[in-house]
Amino acid sequence: MSIPWSVDRRPDTGHYNARLGMGLFLVADAMFMGALYSSLVFLRTAGETWSSAMEQVPAAGHVAALLLAIAAAVVLSMARRQAGVGPILASVVLGIAAVAVMTYDQAQLSAPDAGTAFAMVYVLNGVVRLHLLGGVAAALWFLLLNGRMRRDEPQHFINRLECLGMLAYFNAFAWLFSVAFIHLL
Amino acid sequence: MEAEKRHAGGRLAWTDHKFVGLAYCAASLFFMLVAFGLVLMMRWQLAWPGEPLPFFARIFDANHPSLPGGAMQPTFYNQLGALHGTIMIFLAVAPVLVGGFGSYLVPLMIGAPNLAFPRISLLGLLAFLVGGLIMLGSFFAEGGPAATGWTAYPPLSSIETTGQTLWLLGVSAVYLSSLALAINLIATIVQLRAPGMTFMRLPFFVWSELVTAFLLLLAFPPLAAAAVLQLTDRLRGSSFFLPDGLVISGQPLAVSGGGSALLWQHLFWFLAHPEVYVLILPALGMVAEIYANNTRKPLWGHRSMVYAAFFLGFMSMLVWAHHMFLTGMGSVMNAFFQTTTVIVSVPSIVIGTSLLLSLWGGSIRFTVPMLFALAFLPMFAIGGLTGMPLAFASTNIPLHDTYYVIGHFHYVVAPGTIFAIFAAIYFWFPKISGRRMNDLLGHLHFWPTLLFMNCIFMPMIFQGLAGVNRRMYDGGATYAHASEVLSLNRMATVGAFCLAVAQLPFIANFFYSLIAGKRVDQNPWEATTLEWAAPSPPLANGNFPDAIAVHRGPNEYSTGEGESDYVLQNAPGEATS
Ligand code: HEM
Ligand SMILES: [Cu+2]
């Protein structure tokens, strides 16, 4: 028995199932990231020893990673239009590049036991990297294992790309807010 | 007919919502039994502190460090308490309500063939089982399981043994399962409603699951974030929750400092207060369906109940710091959170009152599920009303952390929600198995259970009013002010062991009826919602033999239409709602 509205949009709600599901997942994820940002603000204002540690956190790498993450999201939304292999591949490369920059950056920084400020950067960086890696893994899965779907059920495949695009934009925003809270607060 | 039977008896796919729902039910009822077993050991210790435990001690060897010679050590009491609370809430009651009855009934009640994301629901089930195994496995960890209560407050929790790390991993796994459930239930209800099933025609149970799913979706992530932070504290030496200058056993603790123990409390209660509504809303929903069916009347104020449930869900996310009145947040914060707390009681009272008025003037059928559902209401009322003095900061101060609190919330979740769960099991058993449970055994289960639940929890209220603290491994034996009410400990303990015995008729009934219960047709209770339009059990593949179209509201009883006193939601014809 097939499940209704798994590919087509239900007219009265305007969604196919996966799009709504992805939206709900991202709402939960926003609460997750939001809790981390709130913790940062709470500790920044309540703790006595936030220190000037943040001045040691290099902003250049963080911003570079941000640009790469945004580029990955934008390229994916191009892929969605034509279900093209090239743009998906490009988004994978951009995503991996962002992760690489963030990993390098983190390695330069003091460990989490050096202070709560460093620990916060460590957690935010790690969590966003995991998000990006999740997106890369999904893109690779669609590329390598969904060839038949791309040919025979193009709409289904395009839906998947749309959902992945939503995640990619979310990831870029998650890192954008992280960078803002880390460097501007 | 033959073909239909073969279908109905056909094997369920792993990804079928009925399989997932039943697996959640079985696993969480098992966990409930475990958590009940843990608390029986605690009750023994509270009534007869230091006396060797009776049969439990035999499970452990005589020289076990937690139970030397069978007598319970303080740390072991703390561990039992932490795991009792954690398992009951995260692995028993919430999952049976949402993962079990939610997954099983919601698609049926809206006329859908399955959940919207069947494979994700199976993955969620796996995460749940992994979380449960981690939690139970932590009993075998070096130093035993978590010992800082189900609330896991730092700094204590941050310096605990490995068991606490496992607790955090277990809770994180449960988070993944509840995320999968929440997304699935919301998407299913929004997307897979049968034609004609408008939102206002959804049965109240479906509404209650929808609001519950939103609570899980929005409130659980902050606890997951908190778990990540506490794990980092424990494993990577950070100090998110550890302030400067901590001293343990005379030794300064080597942490970087700069953290705040209160941050954990905020993040924890941001989930944990909505979580208590997760434990009650689906229960209210199930009771509502059973009331409508057994009074042969539509629910009184279905629409206001729906709005109240939504408002309740929303407000429940703005009250969390009423658990923190004693942390010195300041009077402005206290005033804010006591106000929101009093406001949130209004929709609960709207729902409770609607349920009470639904009984008014009905020709009540006193079936076994109805007995449990009827008893639910006064028990829930005691639980709710004893919450009022806790809502105000000034009256909260002397009651905080006493047995009054333990009595208060147990009235909500034990004789409250657990009664609703029993009611639901008796009510939907025929749909799930095609057989009825035995009535006599049902009565033998109900009456003693009602009696002993009150024997256990009423004394706690009085002990708390006398000032007996919670989480004391000797039940207050060393405190002068507790001496007046100390004998109540024995009353509660005897009640708890009798309650265990009173569950035997249920267990016998359950398995006996599965094999030899009286066979029923698809609608033995003459009910109106769509699950009763499916065969019993529903078709393994797709639930319903024919396409479903909905023509009317959820509880069309005694409308005067036709010769019977009920009309199924998918019955064609002129709708009155
Ligand atoms: C019906 C059988 C039950 C009995 C006899 C029972 C008894 C108790 C007792 C004696 C305590 C410990 C008090 C202390 O030392 O502070 C306790 C704590 C607790 N119980 Fe139950 N309980 C039962 C059912 C439940 C249910 C159904 C739930 C939840 C849905 C639940 C949730 C909790 C929680 C959260 C705690 C607090 C643990 C902590 O201190 O962190 N209990 N219960
Ligand atoms: Cu609360």
**Percentage of chain B with pLDDT > 70?**
97
Q: Give me ligand 1 centre to Cα B272, in Å.
A: 15
Structure token pair of residue B544? 């319903």
Backbone conformation region of residue B156, classed left if phi is above 0, alpha if psi is from -120 to 50, else beta? alpha
The answer to the question of residue B460 being in a domain is yes
Residues of A in contact with B244 (CB under 8 A): 48-49
Confidence of residue B251 (pLDDT cuts 50, 70, 90): confident
End-to-end CA distance of chain A: 53
Which residue type occupies B21? G
User: B18-46 burial, b if ≥16 CB within 10 A, otherwise e?
Assistant: bbbbbbbbebbbebbebbbebbbbbbbbb
The whole-angstrom separation of Cα A182 and Cα B3 is: 65
* Cα nearest neighbour of A33 on chain B: B225
| Protein residue closest via CA to atom 6 of ligand 1 | B39
Check pLDDT > 50 for residue B501: yes
Show Cβ contacts of residue B296 under 8 Å, excluding neighbours closer than 6 positions.
Answer: B362, B363, B365, B557, B558, B565, B566
> Which has the minimum average pLDDT: A14-18, A47-51, B300-304, B492-496?
A47-51
Residues of B in contact with A13 (CB under 8 A): 190-191
Burial class (CB in 10 A: 0-12, 13-18, 19+), B378: middle
Check pLDDT > 60 for residue B7: no
Predicted local confidence at residue A52, as pLDDT: 64
Give the B window 114-133 contacts with A, CB below 8 Å. Answer: 114, 116-118, 120
Predicted local confidence at residue A185, as pLDDT: 79
Q: Give me ligand 2 centre to Cα A48, in Å.
A: 30
DSSP state of B468: P
Rounded (10°) CA dihedral B499, B500, B505, B506: 90
Structure token pair of residue B143? 């130093």
More confident residue, B9 or B45: B45
- pLDDT tens track for B465-483: 999 999 999 999 999 999 9
* Cα nearest neighbour of A51 on chain B: B258
Q: The domain that contains B502 carries what CATH number?
A: 1.20.210.10
Which residue type occupies B170? G
Q: Give me ligand 1 centre to Cα B41, in Å.
A: 12
The whole-angstrom separation of Cα B84 and Cα A42 is: 32
The helix/strand/coil state of A8 is: coil
Q: What is the Rg, in whole angstroms, of the alpha carbon atoms belonging to chain B? A: 24
Check pLDDT > 70 for residue B577: no
More confident residue, A53 or B376: B376
Q: Which candidate in B106, B214, B240 is best for mutational testing of the A interface (most A CBs within 10 A)?
A: B240
- pLDDT tens track for B420-454: 999 999 999 999 999 999 999 999 999 999 999 99
Q: Hey, is the C-beta of A117 within 8 angstroms of any chain B C-beta?
A: yes
**Percentage of chain A with pLDDT > 70?**
95
Q: Are B464 and B406 in contact (CB under 8 A)?
A: yes
Q: Hey, is the C-beta of A119 within 8 angstroms of any chain B C-beta?
A: yes
What is the helix (H) or strand (E) element at residue B252, kind and residue range?
A: strand B251-252
Handedness of CA B437, B438, B441, B445 (dihedral sign): positive
Check pLDDT > 50 for residue A53: yes
- pLDDT tens track for B367-408: 999 999 999 999 999 999 999 999 999 999 999 999 999 999
Check pLDDT > 90 for residue B364: yes
Confidence of residue A97 (pLDDT cuts 50, 70, 90): very high
The whole-angstrom separation of Cα A92 and Cα A99 is: 11
Predicted local confidence at residue B245, as pLDDT: 83
Cα–Cα separations (whole angstroms), residue B328 to A44, A74, B331, B487: 19, 48, 8, 35
DSSP state of A58: -
Q: Give me ligand 2 centre to Cα B390, in Å.
A: 9
Q: Hey, is the C-beta of A45 within 8 angstroms of any chain B C-beta?
A: no
Check pLDDT > 90 for residue B562: no
Show Cβ contacts of residue A136 under 8 Å, excluding neighbours closer than 6 positions.
Answer: A92, A95, A96, A99
Predicted local confidence at residue B559, as pLDDT: 85
Check pLDDT > 70 for residue B5: no
Which residue type occupies B375? A
Check pLDDT > 50 for residue B1: no
Check pLDDT > 80 for residue B574: no
- Which of A15, A24, A46 is the closest to B217 by Cβ? A24
Q: Count of CB atoms within 10 A of residue B125's CB? A: 24
> Which has the minimum average pLDDT: B480-484, B560-564, B565-569?
B560-564
Check pLDDT > 70 for residue A49: no
Measured over all CA atoms, what is the biggest interatomic distance in chain B, rounded to whole angstroms?
81
The whole-angstrom separation of Cα A37 and Cα A180 is: 10
- Which of A17, A29, A49 is the closest to B258 by Cβ? A49
The whole-angstrom separation of Cα B217 and Cα B224 is: 12
Q: How many domains does chain B have?
A: 1
**Segments of A60-177 assigned E as strands:** none
> A28–B182: do the CB atoms touch at under 8 Å?
yes
**Percentage of chain B with pLDDT > 90?**
87
ipTM of the prediction: 0.96
- pLDDT tens track for B114-156: 999 999 999 999 999 999 999 999 999 999 999 999 999 999 9
The helix/strand/coil state of B566 is: strand
What is the helix (H) or strand (E) element at residue B227, kind and residue range?
A: helix B204-236
Instruction: Give the number of A-B residue pairs with CB atoms closer than 8 Å.
Output: 146
The answer to the question of residue B159 being in a domain is yes
Beta bridge partners of B117: none
DSSP state of A141: H
- What is the extent of the structural domain holding B78? 12-238+258-533
The closest-lying atom of ligand 1 relative to the alpha carbon of residue B148 is: 41
Q: Give me ligand 2 centre to Cα B343, in Å.
A: 13
- pLDDT tens track for B64-93: 888 888 889 999 999 999 999 999 999 999
The answer to the question of residue B291 being in a domain is yes
The helix/strand/coil state of B435 is: strand
Q: Are B518 and B435 in contact (CB under 8 A)?
A: yes
Q: Would the CB of B81 count as within 6 Å of ligand 1?
A: yes
Q: Would the CB of B179 count as within 6 Å of ligand 1?
A: no
Predicted local confidence at residue B65, as pLDDT: 82
Q: Are A129 and A99 in contact (CB under 8 A)?
A: yes
Q: Would the CB of B88 count as within 6 Å of ligand 1?
A: yes
- pLDDT tens track for B218-246: 999 999 999 999 999 999 989 999 988 88
Structure token pair of residue B409? 């919330």
**Mean pLDDT rounded to a whole number for chain B:** 94
DSSP state of B575: -
What is the helix (H) or strand (E) element at residue B453, kind and residue range?
A: helix B439-465
> B117–A123: do the CB atoms touch at under 8 Å?
no
Q: Which candidate in B191, B214, B246, B266 is best for mutational testing of the A interface (most A CBs within 10 A)?
A: B191
The closest-lying atom of ligand 1 relative to the alpha carbon of residue B81 is: 38
**Mean pLDDT rounded to a whole number for chain A:** 91
The number of CA neighbours under 13 Å toward the Cβ of B135 is 28
End-to-end CA distance of chain B: 33
Structure token pair of residue B216? 């899980």
Q: Count of CB atoms within 10 A of residue B133's CB? A: 12
Q: Which candidate in A5, A7, A123, A178 is best for mutational testing of the B interface (most B CBs within 10 A)?
A: A123
Q: pTM score > 0.90 for this model?
A: yes
- Which of A10, A17, A47 is the closest to B117 by Cβ? A17
Q: What angle do CA B411, B339, B342 make, to 5 degrees?
A: 30
The answer to the question of residue B195 being in a domain is yes
Q: Count of CB atoms within 10 A of residue B84's CB? A: 22
Predicted local confidence at residue B252, as pLDDT: 85
Predicted local confidence at residue A79, as pLDDT: 78
Mean pLDDT score, B257-283: 95
